[in-house]
A and B are shown apart, each in its own frame.
Chain A
Amino acid sequence: MYKVVTKRFLNDAKTICLFEIEAPLIARHAQAGQFVIFRLDEQGERVPVSVAGYDREKGTVTVMVQAAGRTTRMLHTVAEGDVISDIVGPLGKATEMEGLKKVCVVGGGVGCAIAYPIAKEMHAKGIDVTFIAGFRSADIVILKEELKAASDKLIMCTDDGTYGEKGFTTVFLKNEIEANIAEGKPQFDRVIAIGPDIMMKFLADVTRPYGIKTIISLDPIMVDGTGMCGGCRVIVGGETKFACVDGPDFDAHEVDFDSLLKRAAFYKDEQDAAAQHICNMTGGKRNG
């Protein structure tokens, strides 16, 4: 059993929630870019979620989870002080930062939660960080202060203009790249994009003509997270890779997005059906 020591909703709409969980084994080694797998209870499924932070001294790991399907909605009902059945990790490879000087980190929605620790660590290492954070609207914006502190330049944007600039992250990324060229400033030596698969696909299209290496973090369907099930297969540069052990970071210009998008939707019917079967009386808590 693993205790939730802190729980806090990160936005007004309460769509994304922070959980700080006691897990000394994970806290000892976790790095930005890695993920953990949690399981709520005996009947629960194994759900991968990115590491959003860790405290080696306290022995805790922090995750920021968006309520999307049945399990994540049920997780949101877990209270501070409660326990979850399992959490294991850290899994996957840490995000590569070696030798980078100027990076643009792009987050979309809950992707900002995953991008945040990466930006924070890069910023702390002295890498010049521009952070572009995109959301659908003001009510779901997260980490306003944290992102500011973790970047040299922060652009917040919403699809409907209710917070920050109005528009998509793709537009602002292109603007920044063009501005670097126009003003004769050094170009980004890396773009790191984390968000919905479709957003990452379009961001990859933006950077491709400029030849800027672009890394995305994938979270495909998986069961064990240690290379055992092969469910998280992605095609990268024509080769089959396992996101759990070879990733989760991959070169966006090499990823086969069509296959990725289709695989991600494989259990959609089952997930939709399951999400409709959350008990209204208990709010998703099993056994009362």
Chain B
Amino acid sequence: MANMKMEKNPMPEQDPIVRAGNFDEVALGYSAETAIDEAKRCLNCREPRCRTGCPVSVRIPEFIAKVAEGDFDAAYEIITSTNSLPAVCGRVCPQEKQCESKCVRGIKGESVAIGRLERFVADYHMNKEKKDEIKAPESNGHRIAIVGSGPAGLTCAGDLRKLGYDVTIFEAFHKSGGVLVYGIPQFRLPKEIVAAEIDNLKAMGVKIVNNAIVGKSETVDELFEDGFEAVFIGSGAGLPQFLHIPGENLLGVYSANELLTRVNLMKAYRDDYDTPIKRFGRVAVVGAGNVAMDAARVAKRLGAEHVYICYRRGRDELPARLEEVEHAEAEGIEFNLLNNPVAIHGGEDGHVTGIELVRQELGEPDEKGRRKPVAVEGSNWILDVDTVVIAIGTSPNPLIRNTTQGLTFTKKGGIEADEGGVTAREGVFAGGDAVTGSATVILAMGAGKAGAKSIDAYIKSKK
């Protein structure tokens, strides 16, 4: 008998006041009891629409049915048959826009908490004392190179390895995981969890070469010369965009990438790590996407007295996930909505002293249907801050663009590829932010999956 409760079981969380002072994970995860109770809310629809909302086609009702039975191992098997990174997806996917948005339970009341259940199953497996040994599938002898160990690359690697391919990932950083390690903060996605997921892939036989920058250390052409039969480019969108307003090179102006990389990858928040970070007093974060929320919450945890989100549109237009906005608000992040930055001011010593904002009103909807902000003439004001973090998006890194012949690129610098990741150059596939510009982890994973499928078809067609 299904559990007909209208609401999801709430996610236990660290107290907002406490957590704003530490980097420990905010969401604590379901207990087995809660997970079973939540799983029973699933009606096990004959035609599960939730699955159509998942870019990596997780067999959602099947795994939830196993959770309801208390057979968490079977649930894990089902999830990982299509998803190589369940502990990551369960934490950072915008489920409300994907699987959960399609759930029939969401028509009257709240959808089933699919994401929380996925996380529960993944964590259950990770915390098991005795794990089943991961079997490395036998190699089919075909070598595939993957550029970048972010969500697209890891997914592509996992899927290809399962099909028997001999897969090597080339990663520029000393740590693997791409945006999962340098971008998303510890309190949202603990790095130990990313490392464990990557270890699972390694146990399956995926090879990872760190400190290898394709486009610098070696080129795509050299990968082919070295015997790789296909290359998947999942190099992400690493290049930070700036506002191009006066004062952007003052001391105390960071890209969100710099702040997050210092803190997440280099662990500058920990005394036992060498990478330095400034003590913040008053911080303005420009932008209101998930990265802006991450940057604001990181600044708060580093001890900033005030952290302001400055965004030119209104609350209804906030691009970040609602959950992230609510978490930020609970932790004391202050929102200066309908305020557009026009200049950053500094003192004699070159340090930031304030950010000049212009109040906005919402006008007519633009082509995307979002109401366009219009400046209120003469409404300029200065918010006193010592630090400004620019979090208005990123664009694809030009390293591969500059060193690889035969590819075509979009106006914004992304690699042109079709839905299967097929590019203009034979044997080269691409997916994730390197193609689309900054998007989400799960979309990149979907692209990695599509790329793996296309590579498999390509190699088979050559035989």
Contact = CB atoms under 8 A, between A and B. Distances in A.
Contacts of A274: 274, 276
Interface residues of A, number: 39
A70 B349 CA distance: 25
Interface in B231-289: 238-240, 242, 248-249, 251, 254-255, 257-258, 261-262, 266-267, 272-278
B140 interface: no
B242 A230 contact: yes
A263 B251 contact: yes
A89 B276 contact: no
**Is the contact region of chain B dominated by helix, strand, or loop, or is it mixed?**
loop
A26 B216 CA distance: 9
Interface stretch (A41-49, A116-124, A209-217): A41-49
B172 A45 contact: no
Interface stretch (B19-27, B37-45, B205-213, B336-344): B205-213
A227 interface: yes
A28 B272 contact: no
B397 A227 contact: yes
Contacts of A86: 174, 210-211
Contact of B240 (A26, A230, A270): A230
A266 B239 CA distance: 22
Nearest to A92: B216
Contacts of A224: 172-173, 182, 238, 261
Contact of B249 (A71, A228, A235, A271): A235
A11 B247 CA distance: 42
B399 interface: yes
B217 interface: yes
Given A25-B212, A223-B261, A245-B398, A259 B217 contact: no
A230 B218 CA distance: 23
B350 interface: yes
Interface string A88-125: 11110000000000000000000000000000000000
Q: Which of B216, B257, B267 has the most A CB atoms < 10 Å from its CB?
A: B216
A230 B276 contact: no
Contacts of B397: 226-228
B404 to A, nearest CB: 15
A88 B399 contact: no
Interface in B346-364: 349-350
Contacts of A223: 258, 261-262, 266, 275
Contacts of A29: 216-218
Contacts of A266: 251, 278
B217 A90 contact: yes
Interface in A44-68: 44-46
A204 B65 CA distance: 72
Contacts of A88: 172, 174, 211-213, 217
A235 B247 CA distance: 12
A262 B238 CA distance: 26
A267 B276 contact: yes
Given A240-B249, A259-B249, A259-B350, A229 B257 contact: yes
Given A45-B266, A262-B350, A71 B174 contact: no
A228 B174 contact: no
A34 to B, nearest CB: 9
Contacts of A245: 398-399
A226 B238 contact: yes
B276 A271 contact: yes
Q: Which of A85, A91, A258 has the most B CB atoms < 10 Å from its CB?
A: A91
B216 A89 contact: yes
A173 to B, nearest CB: 29
A249 to B, nearest CB: 16
Nearest to B255: A230
A229 B217 contact: no
Contacts of B217: 25-26, 28-29, 88-90
Nearest to A74: B274
A233 interface: yes
A73 to B, nearest CB: 11
Interface in A224-270: 224, 226-231, 233, 235, 240, 245, 258-259, 262-263, 266-267, 270
B398 A46 contact: no
A200 B426 CA distance: 47
Given A89-B217, A90-B217, A245-B399, A229 B249 contact: no
Contacts of B182: 224, 228
Contacts of B211: 25, 86-88
Nearest to A26: B217
Nearest to B402: A245
Interface string B164-186: 00000000111000000010000
Given A263-B251, A266-B251, A91 B273 contact: no
B135 to A, nearest CB: 28
Contacts of A233: 249
Given A89-B217, A228-B239, A43 B273 contact: yes
Given A29-B218, A45-B266, A270-B276, A229 B240 contact: yes
A231 B249 contact: no
A229 B350 contact: no
A3 interface: no
A274 B273 CA distance: 10
A258 B276 CA distance: 23
Nearest to A239: B244
A55 B268 CA distance: 35
Contacts of A43: 267, 272-274
A87 B217 CA distance: 11
Contacts of A258: 350
Contact of B275 (A45, A85, A87, A259): A45
Q: Which of B218, B276, B277, B349 has the most A CB atoms < 10 Å from its CB?
A: B276
Nearest to A40: B274
A259 B250 CA distance: 8
Q: Which of A71, A87, A89, A229 has the most B CB atoms < 10 Å from its CB?
A: A229
A39 interface: yes
A273 to B, nearest CB: 9
15 contacts: A25-B217, A45-B273, A46-B174, A70-B274, A85-B174, A89-B213, A89-B216, A224-B172, A226-B216, A227-B399, A229-B262, A231-B254, A231-B255, A263-B251, A270-B278
Interface of A: 25-26, 28-29, 39, 43-46, 70-71, 85-91, 223-224, 226-231, 233, 235, 240, 245, 258-259, 262-263, 266-267, 270-271, 274
A-B complex: 3 closest residue pairs judged by Cβ atoms: A270-B276, A229-B258, A88-B211
Given A230-B242, A245-B398, 15 more contacts: A29-B216, A29-B218, A45-B266, A88-B172, A89-B217, A91-B216, A223-B258, A224-B182, A224-B238, A228-B239, A229-B257, A263-B251, A266-B251, A266-B278, A267-B276
